[in-house]
Amino acid sequence: MDMAVSQLRNIPMVDFVANVKVMEVDIQMKSKSFSEYLDFVKNKKQNPSTWIYNVFTKGNSKGIFNLGQIRWYAQWRQYAFYPNEGTVFEKTCLGDIQQFCIKLNKKQRQKNSMKGMRLA
């Protein structure tokens, strides 16, 4: 790995996060209250019906860091967590990521079931 890449990994993501609107889901799930240690930020559409969410640490004295992404994994037909290289997680953060994926998957299933309904 060259020096420029290793230096970029250590730069806090404060400026980037300040310019991104924190995700709010219809099921009353705001990232700021969802997890004590993590922020889930809606990033961009992955395809017409699913989104990509970035997972960041909440700000502290060491800064804010991008831990990975939650994206739709078509083979499993559900959202999955894609951690960034070199990240380490403990049970509380993994549980928060798991619960966030469960809520996204539930919302996606509800949206898909609504598509199948016909209006009389």
Query: Which of 77, 71, 70, 84 shows the shortest CA–CA distance to 13?
Result: 84
Task: Quote the CA–CA distance of 16 and 114 in Å, as a whole number.
Answer: 35
pTM: predicted TM-score of the whole model, two decimal places: 0.68
Q: CA separation (Å) from 63 to 49, 68, 72, 107?
A: 33, 16, 28, 31
Q: What is the pLDDT of residue 105?
A: 97
Cβ distance 14 to 73 under 8 Å? no
CA 114 to each of CA 16, 19, 110: distance values in angstroms, whole numbers, following the listed order: 35, 33, 6
Tokens of 70: 């939650």
The SS3 of residue 81 is: strand
Per-residue pLDDT tens for 53-110? 999 999 877 788 999 999 999 999 999 999 999 999 999 999 999 999 999 999 999 9
The string of pLDDT tens digits covering residues 23-56 is 333 333 444 567 999 999 999 999 888 999 999 9
Distance CA 87, CA 77 (A): 25
